[in-house]
Structures are given as C-alpha cells and as structure tokens.
Structure 1
Amino acid sequence: MAPPRKHDTDVILDAARTLVLRDGPRAASVAAIAEASGAPVGTLYHRFGNRNGVLTAAWIRALERFQAHAMAGAESDDPLEAALGMCCAAITFGRASLDDAKLLLNLRPSDLLDGEPDDAFQERLAGMNAPLLEQLRRVTRGIYGTAGPREIDTVTRAVVDLPYAALRRHAHGPELPEWLERDLTTAARLLLTAELA
C-alpha cells in the first residue's frame, strides 16, 4: 500500500486558483503556488509536470465539479424538468464552489497556460463535454420532437446562456441571491414552452 500523499492535491489546486483569481494568471508561477500551498516546488513538478500542468488541473477540476451539477440536474425522465434542472445547475454549482465558478467564468484555458492547450487537453475536454451535449440533445428531442439547429439553439439559450449570464452577473458579490434559481426556472420554462414559429 502506498503511503498517503503529504501535500493534498486540492490544497495545491486551491492555492493556484486563489492566485489566479486574485492576481491574474501570470502570478501563478510554480514558486508562488508552492509558497501559497506549502508544498515544495519539487512536489509540484513531480505531480503536475510544470506550471501548465497545475493550472490545467485546477481548471479541469472546476469543470468536473460544474459538470457533476449539470448531470445531476438533467436526471429527470421528463425532458422539460431535466432542462430546468440543467438550467439551475450553474447556480447550484456557484453556491457550492463560487471560486471554481469564477475560474470558469473569467478564464479560458488559453488565458491560463503558456501557449495554447495541446491536443491531449482538447481531446480530454471533448470527452468531458460529450455526455452533457448528449443530455442537451435528449431534452431537446423530448421537448420539441426533434433536435434540429433551431431547437438546439433554443434549449441552449435556456439551459446554458441564461444561467451563465445570471451567474456571471452575480458571481462578484459575496453570495448568490436566494431567489436566483426560482427566477431562472420561470424564465427558462417560458422560453422552452413558447411555440417556435
């Protein structure tokens, strides 16, 4: 049995995220992350390879946390309820981990990394997004009977664009308003149940 890791990965990734959000991506050097997390520089290089590896891991962890909320929101067999659950997922994610939400809202991987994300990162991202895109198509077919471009766009507006904009607006406050999910659900329901002319 391997001995437990001396320096917790989440502590390291939290430190990297804090540096990025507070001081910008350039502030998150390996040395700065090591100092903020208490982990030796050698541990960071051993575990993550380099600065890009640490920041990629922090961004991917935030995305995984968001996607867990989105997939849980989409669990209903009723397509409209699943869509409304997906709509609220961004807000429940923001409530659970506002700093992770801020990381995803404000920074793309290309903003964080030295150079563009590599092919392996792009493939991993595509694989992570595939189940959510399938849920989006499922609820679209369930609501409209088809998943054509206009129907997909309408559902995307309701379950991605609307909550993303609301979360972005409120993420800079100390906490998200308690009424946010209720208002978003009402707006998304109106959008999803309107006739497409």
Structure 2
Amino acid sequence: MAPPRKHDSDVILDAARTLVLSEGPRAASVAAIAAASGAPVGTLYHRFGNRNGVLTAAWLRALGRFQAGALAAAGTPDPVEAGVAMVRASIRFGRELPEDARLLLSLRPSDLLDGGPDDAFQARLATMNAPLIEQLRRIARELTGRDGDREIDAVGRAVVDLPYAALRRHAHAARLPDWLDEDIAEAARTLLGSCRR
C-alpha cells in the first residue's frame, strides 16, 4: 500500500490559482507555487511534470467542478426547466467557488500556458465538454424539434451566455447579489420558452 501523500494536490492547485488571480499567470512559476503551497519543487515536478502541468490541472479542476454541477442539474426532463437548472447551477458555482469561477472567466488556457495548450489538453477539453454540448443539443431538439447550429446557438444564448455575462460582471464583487440567481433564471426561462415550437 502506498503511503499517503504528504502534500495535498488541492493545496498545490489552490496556491497556483491564487497566484494567477492575484499576480497574473507569469507569477505562477514552479518555485512560486511551491513556496505558496509549502510543497517542495520536486513534488510539483513529480506530480504535474512542469509549470504547464500545474496550471493545466488547476484550470481543468475548475472546469470539472463547474461541469459537475451543470450536468447534475441538466437531468430535469422538461427542456426549459433543464436549461434553467443549468443556469442556476452556473450561478451557484460562481457563488460557492468564486476563485474557480474567476479563473475560468478571466483566463483561457492559452493565457496560462507556455507555448499554449497541446493536443492532449485539447483532446481532454473536448472530452470534458462533450456531455454539456450533448445536453444543449438535447434541449434544442426537445424545444424546437431540431438540433442544428442555429437551434443550439439559441439555447446556448440562454443557458451559457446569460450566466457567463452575469458572473463576469460580478466576478470581483465580495459576493454575488442574492437576487442574481432568480433574475438570470427567469431571463433564461423566457428565452428558452421563446424557442419552444
């Protein structure tokens, strides 16, 4: 049996995220992440490979946390309410994990990584995004009878763009306004309802 890890990966990724958000991506060197997390530099290289590996892991962890909530919410049978539930999950993510939300809202992987995302990252991202895209496709199909580009785009404006814009607007507030969840959910319900055939 392997001994327990001395330095928790989440602590390391939290330190990387904090450095990126407070001082910018260039400040998140392996040495700086090691110093901020308390983990030896060798641990970071062993566990993540290099700086890109640490920052990729932090960004993908945030994305995974967001997607877990959105996918859990998407199971509602009614397509309008499924979309509204996904919107509420997005706002809840921003409220409960504001640092992860700020990371996703403010930085693309290409902003973080030396040399940009590689093919392995792109493949992993496509795999992670596929279930959410399928939910948008399902909602579009059930609302309009079609799941072409235009229908998916219409659903995306309600389910993706509305909460994204709202979270981005309030990303640096001390906390999200209490009324935001309901306001964005109602706006999404109106947009989605207008798509129904």
Task: Measure how far apart 1:195 and its partner are.
Answer: 5.6
The one-letter code sitting in structure 1 at the alignment partner of 2:80 is: L
Alignment of 1:125-144 (within 5 A): 125-144=125-144
1:105 maps to what in 2? 105
Task: Measure how far apart 1:149 and its partner are.
Answer: 2.2
1:164 maps to what in 2? 164
Off by >4 Å, runs of 4+ in structure 1: none
2:35 maps to what in 1? 35
Alignment of 1:10-49 (within 5 A): 10-49=10-49
Task: Measure how far apart 1:192 and its partner are.
Answer: 1.4
Change (3 A) 1:196 1:75: closer
Partner secondary structure for residue 121 of structure 2? helix
1:104-156, Cα deviation, whole Å (9 max, x unpaired): 00000010000011000000000000000001101111111111222111100
2:56 maps to what in 1? 56
Greater CA drift, 71-80 or 26-35: 71-80
Alignment of 1:77-92 (within 5 A): 77-92=77-92
Instruction: List runs of 5+ in structure 1 lacking aligned partners.
Output: none
1:37-79, Cα deviation, whole Å (9 max, x unpaired): 0000010001001000000000000000000111012010111
Change (3 A) 1:195 1:26: closer
Alignment of 1:176-195 (within 5 A): 176-194=176-194
Instruction: Indicate the RMSD between aligned Cα atoms, in angstroms.
Output: 1.2
Aligned length: 197
The one-letter code sitting in structure 2 at the alignment partner of 1:46 is: H
The one-letter code sitting in structure 2 at the alignment partner of 1:55 is: L
1:154 maps to what in 2? 154
| TM-score for both structures, normalised by structure 2 | 0.97
Q: Percent identity?
A: 72
Instruction: List runs of 5+ in structure 2 lacking aligned partners.
Output: none
- Do the aligned partners of 2:158 and 2:191 also contact (CA within 8 Å) in 1? yes
| 2:71 is the alignment partner of 1:71 | yes
- Alpha-carbon distance in 1 for matches of 2:123, 2:150: 27
- Alpha-carbon distance in 1 for matches of 2:12, 2:133: 31
| 2:120 is the alignment partner of 1:124 | no
Change (3 A) 1:32 1:80: same
